Amino acid sequence: MATHDTDPQDRARFGRLLGAGIWLFFLGNPLGALFRNDNQLERYSGVVALVVFVPVYLYGLGQIPRFHIERRYLAAWTYVSVLLACFAVTIPGAGDQSMTCLVFISALAVAILPKWQAGGVVVVTFAAITAAGFWVDGWSAHGNNFAVLLAAAAVWSFRLAWQRQAKLMAAERDLSELAVEEERARIARDLHDILGHSLTVISVKAELAERLFDDDPVRAKAELEDLQRLSRDALADVRSTAQGIRGISLPGEIASARMALESAGIEPLLPTVADEVPSRWRELFAWTLREGVTNVIRHSEASTCEVELDADRIRVTDDGRGPCPDDGSGNGLEGLRQRARLAGATVTTSAGPGERGFSLTVTVPA
């Protein structure tokens, strides 16, 4: 049989009820006083009131989030009023021991009412118990007035902790939604970069093939073959982007490199298309472009960066200060070399034209 994890809200509710239920044994004081009362009507009416008091109190505690999230404060006052009515019914039979009920009423009020209303209930309850201990003949507060303050303070601390947890969970949900929206926007940008040019070229070649179909069938066939290749490449790029948060596309990297270089104050001399690069080499070339441009921005102090892109080669060249002291053997280039080895390609680094700057070249098998 399959098992399912308990919902976090159910666990929190169970924890509240368990914590509250432990303290209900203090209701043994009014219950004992009721059973010592010889008046059967007062005794049994008080017992029934306590029997109603306990589940109403526990159910109210179990609904704390709903009272605050849905602002059901009228219903919260209804629960408090029911408990006050039960307390009133126990007074004739339990006497001053009935004031133990006010401790639980104050705790529930602090848990489910707006803070200023809850504070008012606590003050009134404390004053009522204290006054009754002084002014009602034969009655004593039995420390219930101070128990009200302690219970209110404890419940208030739990309430603050719950509110902080609720805000944290809401913030996590907002961050998750924001991350999803940002990822959707990123995919949309990548798809625009990938398909914008590819579909335009496909449309132009399709029109050319249609015009050449009667006059030059051989060239028309070549154009149709190009259409098939371009379609497969565009589809591969789309699949890579859609699968892939971890995916990387060459057209997308060209667009990103242009933006990054311009932001760094470096003039980008980049190709506008990547159609002649076969789909099997596009990911490797994209990683090469990313690593090369990153190094130019970080280390070169260059004014221009040029990218040359062919079917079997990509070269990233700058006119900066030249290779780093480690001779270009940093972690990024080493990772690129590993990728190239897996693909059967070679990585070459050298000085740029005129012995200025730095050149990174990746050559793939023909």
User: How many C-beta atoms surround the C-beta of residue 342 within 10 A?
Assistant: 9
Q: Is the dihedral of CA 355, 341, 256, 196 positive or negative?
A: positive
- Which CATH architecture fits 248-366? 2-Layer Sandwich (3.30)
Half-sphere exposure of 84 (CA within 13 A, CB side): 12
Task: Report how far apart, in Å, the C-alpha atoms of 232 and of each of 39, 187, 221, 226, 245 are.
Answer: 93, 19, 17, 10, 21
At 4 the pLDDT is 44
Tokens of 114: 């707006």
Which residue numbers in the chain have pLDDT < 50? Answer: 1-6, 193, 197, 245, 327-329
What pLDDT, on the 0 to 100 scale, is given for residue 213? 80
Provide CB contacts within 8 A for 208, sequence distance 6+: 223
Domain ranges of the chain: 8-172, 248-366
Three-state DSSP class for 141? coil
The distance between the two most distant Cα atoms of the chain, rounded to a whole number of Å, is 119
Over residues 255-276, the pLDDT tens digits come to 878 877 887 778 999 988 788 8
DSSP 27: G
Q: How many CB atoms lie within 10 A of CB 52?
A: 15
Query: 3-state SS string over 306-344?
Result: EEEECCCEEEEEECCCCCCCCCCCCHHHHHHHHHHHHHC
pLDDT at position 327, please?
A: 46
CB 183 within 8 A of CB 194: no
* pLDDT, position 18: 57
pTM for this entry: 0.47
In angstroms, the Cα distances linking 158 to 56, 62, 143 are: 20, 13, 23
| Three-class DSSP labels, 70-135 | CCCHHHHHHHHHHHHHHHHHHHHHHHHHHHHHHHHHHHHHHHHCCHHHHHHHHHHHHHHHHHHHHH
pLDDT, tens digit, 9 for 90 and up, residues 190-204: 565 456 545 655 776
**In Å, how far are 190, 226, 332 from 250, measured between CA atoms?**
10, 19, 18
pLDDT of 2? 41
Q: What is the rounded CA–CA span in Å between residue 13 and residue 278?
A: 59
- pLDDT value at residue 198: 56
